């Protein structure tokens, strides 16, 4: 049911990013030009946690993990959007579990919000947009499973983290227009980094973001100062 990048799409791949990620094994379900146009409107980034930053494996009394490679990816994408728009994008984690690691990550990275214990993630998207004056089409989300599909249906750009054991879920998302891209990597292999680099690539912003961050120049310091001033809001299901 899923398809890979077409020759027509490749001609519209201004930065070469889509072709590069297709070669990696990523699958584009949306026209590359259309996806790039929708990313141009993105003002908010939403991430599921379990299965996205990790494989979602847990043991009694222990939470799930994240990687610094994925952390760097979220920061660089936020910086790229800040450079493009002149203001910080909204960043949030929406998780169905009470996960101290997710909450700690959101606080450390100064995301605007972490939604925890959320059974209906569609409602969380609505609340996030209402809080920050956003249209749902301005939200990009990274997700991995069935309980995320309602959220994906509301967002303007949707990235599904691959799980080799879930081919029928991938087919369902494709048939029902709930996904624009399926990652080459699974959750424990830096899928978040893949999605963030892809978005920066389609924005034709990757090189300038990397040069600025590696130089730790004035623009990056201004962004980082603004980012660090954000206090993360913790929102529970009862509030949503």
Domain count, the chain: 1
- 33 Ramachandran zone, left/alpha/beta (phi>0; psi -120 to 50): alpha
Per-residue pLDDT for 208 more than 50?
yes
| β partners of residue 27 | 182
pLDDT at 240: 56
Q: What is the mean pLDDT of residues 72-100?
A: 95
Q: What pLDDT band is residue 1 in, cutting at 50, 70 and 90?
A: very low
Containing domain of residue 80, as a range?
Answer: 35-51+64-156+188-236
Task: Note whether 131 and 113 are within 8 A (CB).
Answer: yes
Distance between CA atoms of 147 and 118, rounded to whole angstroms? 10
In a domain, 136, yes or no: yes
Q: Which two tokens stand for residue 65?
A: 């993990």
DSSP-derived letter for residue 143 is E
- Note whether residue 27 is domain-resident: no
Q: What is the mean pLDDT of the chain?
A: 91
Residue 30 included in any domain: no
Q: Is the sign of the CA dihedral 102, 47, 145, 21 positive or negative?
A: negative
- In tens, the pLDDT along 100-125 reads 899 999 999 999 999 999 999 999 99
Q: Judge whether residue 2 has pLDDT over 50.
A: no
Which range, of 22-36, 60-74, 111-125, 192-206, averages the lowest pLDDT?
60-74
Is residue 135 one of the residues assigned to a domain? Answer: yes
C-alpha–C-alpha distance, residues 39 and 140, integer Å: 8
Angle at 164 between CA 174 and CA 28, to 5 degrees: 35
Q: Estimate the share of the chain in helix, then strand, then coil, as percent rounded to the nearest 5.
A: 50, 15, 40
Is 17 inside a domain boundary? no
Task: Return the pLDDT at 55.
Answer: 83
What's the token pair of residue 190?
């830096």
Instruction: End-to-end CA distance of the chain: give it in Å, rounded.
Output: 35
Looking at residue 65, what is its pLDDT? 83
Give me the phi and psi of 46, to 5 degrees please: -125, 135
Mean pLDDT confidence for 129-142:
97
Tokens 């990313």 -> residue? 39
Q: Is residue 181 part of a domain?
A: no
Nearest to 81 by CA among 221, 205, 194, 198: 205
At 8 the pLDDT is 43
Q: Does residue 170 sit within a domain?
A: no
The radius of gyration of the chain from alpha carbons, rounded to an integer in Å, stands at 17
Please state, in angstroms and rounded to a whole number, the distance separating the CA atoms of residues 64 and 102.
8
Q: What percent of the chain has pLDDT over 90?
A: 82
Task: Please give the Cα distance from 203 to 96 (Å, whole number).
Answer: 31
In a domain, 41, yes or no: yes
Q: What pLDDT score was predicted for residue 238?
A: 63
What tokens does 184 get? 């080459």
Length of the chain: 240
pLDDT (tens digit per residue) in 6-44? 444 544 566 689 999 999 999 999 999 999 999 999 999
The pLDDT of residue 206 is above 80: yes
Mean pLDDT on 197-219 = 97
User: In CATH, what number is assigned to the domain containing residue 122?
Assistant: 3.40.50.1000
């Amino acid at each position: 049911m899923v398809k890979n990048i077409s020759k027509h799409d490749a001609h519209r791949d201004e930065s070469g990013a889509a072709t590069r990620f297709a070669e990696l094994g990523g699958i584009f379900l949306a026209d590359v030009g259309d996806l790039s146009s929708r990313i141009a409107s993105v003002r908010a980034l939403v991430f599921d946690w379990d299965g996205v930053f990790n494989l979602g494996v847990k043991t009694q009394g222990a939470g799930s993990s994240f990687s610094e490679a994925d952390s760097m990816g979220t920061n660089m994408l936020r910086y790229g959007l800040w450079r493009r728009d002149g203001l910080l994008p909204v960043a949030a984690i929406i998780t169905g579990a009470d996960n101290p690691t997710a909450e700690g990550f959101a606080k450390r990275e100064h995301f605007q919000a972490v939604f925890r214990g959320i059974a209906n993630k569609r409602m969380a998207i609505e609340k996030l947009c209402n809080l920050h004056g956003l249209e749902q089409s301005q939200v990009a989300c990274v997700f991995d499973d069935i309980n995320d599909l309602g959220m994906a249906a509301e967002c303007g750009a949707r990235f599904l983290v691959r799980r080799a054991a879930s081919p029928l879920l991938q087919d369902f998302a494709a048939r029902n227009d709930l996904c624009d891209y399926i990652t080459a990597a699974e959750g424990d292999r830096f899928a978040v980094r893949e999605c963030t680099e892809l978005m920066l690539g389609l924005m034709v912003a990757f090189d300038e973001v990397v040069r600025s961050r590696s130089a730790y120049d004035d623009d990056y310091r201004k962004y980082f100062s603004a980012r660090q001033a954000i206090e993360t809001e913790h929102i529970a299901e009862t509030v949503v």
